[in-house]
Amino acid sequence: MGRNGWRWIELKFNSAETTLHFLRRDDEVPSAEPVLVLVDDDVEGTIAALQSNGVEIITRPQAAPWQPTRTIAEFRDSEGNRVVIGSR
């Protein structure tokens, strides 16, 4: 994805509503930008469950700036990368 070393992978499973979107630089340094976007019907509940299991929450559930009717939040994965979770 350009000359700056970014990779983009998108996966969609047959007869599923799930699409996985991975964005990562070629180096092994944790990304400062989100590397994965997840869609969930219960962002607040999922963030609460992640936090209760010791996951670092970067941003609490809030209205998405680009679409205020959607809820988004961010957390860090086990490698230190940012992950976004948003409502439909």
The model's pTM: 0.68
Mention every residue, 6+ apart, whose C-beta is less than 8 A from residue 80: 30
Examine the pLDDT at 7 and tell me if it is beyond 70.
no
Q: What are phi and psi of 70, to 5 degrees?
A: -100, 145
pLDDT top residue among 17 and 14? 14
pLDDT top residue among 26 and 15? 15
Q: Which tens digit of pLDDT belongs to each residue from 50-83?
A: 999 999 999 999 999 888 999 999 999 887 888 9
Mention every residue, 6+ apart, whose C-beta is less than 8 A from residue 6: 23, 24, 25, 26
Mention every residue, 6+ apart, whose C-beta is less than 8 A from residue 79: 30
Mention every residue, 6+ apart, whose C-beta is less than 8 A from residue 48: none
**What value, to the nearest 5°, has the Cα angle with vertex 51 and ends 50 and 57?**
100
Examine the pLDDT at 32 and tell me if it is beyond 90.
no
pLDDT top residue among 67 and 33? 67
